[in-house]
Amino acid sequence: MHDEKALVSGCAKGERAMQKELYDRFSGQMLAVCIRYCKSREDAEDILQEAFVKVFNNIESFRKESTLGYWIKRIVINTALNYHRKSVYLYPHFDIEDMHDIGDDDVTVSNHNYKDLLKLLQTLPQGCQVIFNLYAIEGYKHKEIAEMLNISEGTSKSQYARAKSLIKEMITETGEVKHG
């Protein structure tokens, strides 16, 4: 197993063994990221492949200002966003300040397993799913999300609130995840 510097150098030279090692090292983790943005595993796999093509084509631009894994994750997220950009409908278009019935408390899901939570997230409308992932899981701020998706900050906030509301509806009073 090579260190990041050797991997980057080998991939930049087009060495297939280094590309395979980089892919093997990061593809599982990045597929999990892709799945959070998709309705199907097939779509997630398509995004993953497209993202790694971008990684290999742009590996020379990796500046070591962050970890290689973080750099790859950014490419994966951007590829997922671009993949869905045409089909992401961010509705309803109202400002978060108009929403009085949704509390600011967090959705408690810590007692659910990952597969159940993933299925739950995949049932959200695409716009809600994307923004929930970017905000709650990836840690982006609403201002950053708005810039990434070319939407208003209020739309980002309202979609996040809508996602939280839908998640709450899908979790029964007993704390079990309801599907669909």
CATH assignment at residue 158:
1.10.10.10
Enumerate the H helices of the chain as residue ranges.
4-12, 16-36, 41-58, 68-84, 114-122, 126-132, 142-149, 153-170
Tokens standing for 157?
Answer: 């906030």
Q: How confident is the model at residue 168, as a pLDDT?
A: 85
- Interatomic CA distance for residues 81 and 21, integer angstroms: 26
Answer yes or no: do 124 and 78 share one domain. Answer: no
Which residues touch 58 (CB under 8 Å, ≥6 apart)?
A: 75
- Residue 180: inside a domain, yes or no? no
Q: Which residue, 51, 84, 117, sits at the end of a domain?
A: 84
Q: Band of the pLDDT at 58, cuts 50, 70, 90?
A: very high
- Residue 58: inside a domain, yes or no? yes
- Interatomic CA distance for residues 103 and 79, integer angstroms: 32
Cβ neighbours around 57 below 10 Å, total: 9
Furthest-apart CA atoms within the chain: distance in Å:
57
Cβ neighbours around 108 below 10 Å, total: 11
- Residue 162: inside a domain, yes or no? yes
93-112, pLDDT tens digit by residue?
444 333 333 333 444 444 55
- Residue 146: inside a domain, yes or no? yes
- Give the number of domains in the chain: 2
- Residue 49: inside a domain, yes or no? yes
CATH at residue 32: 1.10.1740.10
123-157, pLDDT tens digit by residue?
899 889 999 999 998 999 999 999 988 899 999 99
Dihedrals phi, psi of 177, to nearest 5 degrees: -80, 125
- Residue 110: inside a domain, yes or no? yes
- Residue 21: inside a domain, yes or no? yes
Answer yes or no: do 115 and 71 share one domain. Answer: no
Length of the chain: 180
Domain that holds residue 105: 96-170
Answer yes or no: do 61 and 111 share one domain. Answer: no
Q: Which residue, 84, 110, 137, sits at the end of a domain?
A: 84
- Interatomic CA distance for residues 145 and 32, integer angstroms: 20
Answer yes or no: do 20 and 77 share one domain. Answer: yes
- Residue 177: inside a domain, yes or no? no
Q: How confident is the model at residue 69, as a pLDDT?
A: 95
